[in-house]
Amino acid sequence: MKKCVFLDRDGTINKYKELLSKKEDLELEETAAAAIKRINDNGYLCIVLTNQPVIARNLCTFDDVLEINEELKRMLYKANRAYLDDVFICPHHPDRGYPEENEEFKVECECRKPKIGMIKEAQKKYEIDLSGSYLIGDTTIDVQTGKNAGLKTILLNTGLKGTDKKFEVRPDLYAENLIGAVELILKEGE
Ligand SMILES: [Zn+2]
């Protein structure tokens, strides 16, 4: 059984921009590439879980999001030879009523965080030991997702810094940035 560090994308790996829908808008968080390299070098899988309502809102297509993720991977590799083992995307959004919406993706799904569909899929694909794994993110949605899946959770002081306040939930640990979070994980693993 493998251990995994699950990461949120926007506000965790790349700088938070509202409804990011162009690869030109990608900018790495300062410590992200070094942090992911540390995850890679210490025997943990590194898997991204990202809600991308921009697809349901018709601000971009699913293929555009795949391309943004590829660009992000290129940036991480170029910066520090860091790599992501996989990226899981939820393209759905449950609330109808936006003028530009894409009906196909306007559904209640099992993958949109804080639901754990993406984690279950990853667990099956990679045989992950969830109890020894972590979820790192910048919102209370991420923390709630981790709790729902039985993961240890770390909330960052980057991106939205937990100010979304969607859930009354406390993370297991707090960290200033992604490298700070990874150092905490490696310390706990010693
Ligand atoms: Zn979904």
All domains in the chain, ordered by first residue: 4-188 (3.40.50.1000)
- Please give the pLDDT value at position 61: 94
Q: What is the DSSP string of 3-68?
A: -EEEE-SBTTTB---TT---GGG--B-TTHHHHHHHHHHTT-EEEEEEE-HHHHTTSS-HHHHHHH
Tell me which of 10, 86, 95, 164 is the catalytic residue.
Answer: 10
pLDDT at 25 over 90: yes
**140 pLDDT higher than 80:** yes
Determine the pLDDT at residue 190: 78
Q: How far apart are the CA of 20 and the centre of ligand 1, in A?
A: 18
Task: Look up 41 and say whether it is catalytic.
Answer: no
Looking at residues 137-145, what average pLDDT do you find? 98
Average pLDDT, the chain: 95
Give 137's contacts (C-beta < 8 A, 6+ positions apart): 7, 8, 11, 12, 143, 145, 146, 153, 154, 155, 156
Among 118, 100, 8, which Cα is nearest to 56's? 100
pLDDT of 170 reads 97
Residue 63 appears among annotated catalytic residues: no
The span from the CA of 182 to the CA of 190, in Å, is 13
Average pLDDT value for residue range 154-174: 97
- Span 78-126, pLDDT tens digits: 999 999 999 999 999 888 777 778 888 888 999 999 999 999 999 999 9
pLDDT at res. 88: 98
Give the Å distance between the CA of 50 and the centre of ligand 1: 10
- The proportion of the chain whose per-residue pLDDT surpasses 90, expressed as a percent, equals 88
Q: Is the confidence at residue 74, as pLDDT, over 90?
A: yes
The pLDDT score that the predictor gives to residue 102 is: 85
